Chain A
Amino acid sequence: MPTRPLVIRYEDDLQLFPGLWHKAGAVLTLAVALGYPWLASERWLTVGNLGLVAIVGAAALMVLTGFAGQVSLGHAAFLALGAYTVAVLGNKWGWPFWLALPLAGAVSACVGVVIGAFALRLRGLYLAIVTLGLVFLTQHVLLAYPEVTNGLSGTSVPMYWWFRGDVGSAASVGDTWQLGPVVLGFERKLYFLFLPLAAGTVWLTKNVQRSNSGRAMMAVRDQDLAAEVLGVSTTQARLQAFGVSSFLAGIAGAMFAFQQQYITVEPPFDLNLSIQFIAMIVLGGVGSVFGAVSGALAFTFLSPLAESVGHALPLIQQLTSAQQATVLLSVVVVLVLVLEPMGLFGVWLRIRRYFQAWPFRY
């Protein structure tokens, strides 16, 4: 069976799911995604939600680091901004979540573009250091205004359907719904909210990748001098990458805050979180949207698995389960870097090549 139909128009090359196999894969993925919350236990449903948050966050970092080649350690700062934006909007003014969510992205994007403008001349290690500073700066600012953020003790993150104050309509999303035999608890509702958000993020980043804007970012990543001579503005490409990335990171932070219901500054919004996101895109394969998604899912689903097998392993038995998970995940990331530098995306390419060439070896 041909893997894709004959391309007779250039439009056909632009489709996301050009062939029968692609469409079948998409339908299968959708089926699994829709079935998951009904089959998974409470614990794994939470992991699934965190996985969807991680997809948005990793896709955001992929735009900045994977496409535009700007290594950033400041990802946690943008997530923190998004998380605290929805927390403050909910607590102070009782905003509904669907209105606070895009605003969280916008706040984060504004900061991202400003940082991007400062970082225009920086690259590689220098940029990493500046963005590292951003994490500490954001932590400091969030702790310095306890009247807004509630400081060290953290803040709750309410999630309303409608503006609080309208009596009766300010129901919280946390309330459990009972529709006949179907029970929609908080986590399950979150799942069905996060799923389209994650899918939308993947679609947006894929659009960046396949369009002129993304190509300009990648051109700046590979050869900035040649890009200038072609008429690609490196300033514009970098700022756009920072803008899109920090917007989506803000959304991811807001999603995380809604899921946690109560957030503090540190943890989780510290350097460790930034590094986890870098580990995700490295694990998945830098430079592809598939890499962001697979890396994010692999990372979030491996953590609880690592925690459950950790106590049986020698050498790391004495550590706490979280430390065991960190050790095991580090080993996995190092192994991936050594064995398949292109990450899970590289593995996928090999599998695909094998079946395209089948029954021949290559």
Chain B
Amino acid sequence: MALLELDNVGLSFSGVRALDGVSFSIEAGALHAVIGPNGAGKSSLFNCISGIHRHMEGRVRLDGQELTGVEPTEIARLGVSRMFQNLALFEHLTVLENLLLGRHQRYRTGLLRNLFWTRGAREEEVRHREKAEEVIDFLDLEHFRWMPVAVLPYGIRKRVELGRALCMEPKLLLLDEPTAGLNQEETEDMANTLLDLRHELGVTQVLIGHELRFVMDLATQVTVLDRGRVIANGPPSALRNDTRVLSAYVGGTVAA
């Protein structure tokens, strides 16, 4: 069953056609990769799914529910969480606070009860802490729990950002270049984490990737974008020798 359906999604920025008639669907439990050269519209596609670009055309549906025109906060509540390409962590907060913010929408206590630190507020804090600790355990972040994000190295920050997205217990996890800027070892760690996520937690993931090998090895399904259009869609094995994909990446015409 398709978890996410994109139907004829288009997006323009004053003359630049970032996305044009993008339609494909993502199966529940898949690790779906979206690849394409720079400027192909990968990140714009994510922005459309998470509701940041309000002027998009076409429709997006999650689990049969319409996401088109819905506020970003509401989309987050419906179960779409996201890891940004350029880190968007809260630098002055600790790792734990960043993760707890991932659970923000599940808090039921409002400002008044928080102000007076009532029993309900305390219990809620502990309950969400337990969930955040599960994620900390899953991602091996124990040592960094109390550190402000600003002092952490880049590879750890990537993991914190993934953790924050996981704390939302998403149905759909959007990963915008999770391995950008990571070294070989960190990339392998990230690959293992993504596979664990799929196998152990069954989270549906959409992955934007640059590195073809990383994507081809991990993904169950690959969509290739070029200049805002879908030029290929299928399992990695079918795309490995696709001339359209190769020409989009390498440029010009490639002799098959």
Contact = CB atoms under 8 A, between A and B. Distances in A.
Most central of A203, A213, A230 by chain B CB within 10 Å: A230
A222 B117 contact: no
Contacts, number: 108
Give the secondary structure class of B's interface. helix
Contacts of A240: 111
B125 A230 contact: no
Given A207-B115, A212-B109, A244-B115, A223 B89 contact: yes
A134 interface: no
A213 B90 contact: no
Nearest to A234: B73
Nearest to B108: A212
A195 interface: no
Contacts of A212: 100, 104, 107, 109, 114, 121, 124-125
Contacts of A204: 115-116
Contact of A232 (B89, B101, B133): B101
A228 B133 CA distance: 23
A11 B117 contact: no
A215 B115 CA distance: 13
Most central of A11, A204, A207, A229 by chain B CB within 10 Å: A229
A14 B122 contact: yes
A230 B105 contact: yes
A271 to B, nearest CB: 28
B169 to A, nearest CB: 12
Nearest to B112: A213
B218 interface: no
Interface string B67-109: 0000011001100011010001111110001001110110101
B129 interface: yes
Nearest to A16: B117
Nearest to A247: B115
A216 interface: yes
A218 B92 contact: yes
B168 interface: yes
B52 A225 contact: yes
Interface of B: 50, 52, 72-73, 76-77, 81-82, 84, 88-93, 97, 100-102, 104-105, 107, 109-111, 114-117, 121-122, 124-126, 129-130, 133, 164, 168
5 contacts: A226-B90, A229-B76, A229-B88, A231-B73, A287-B92
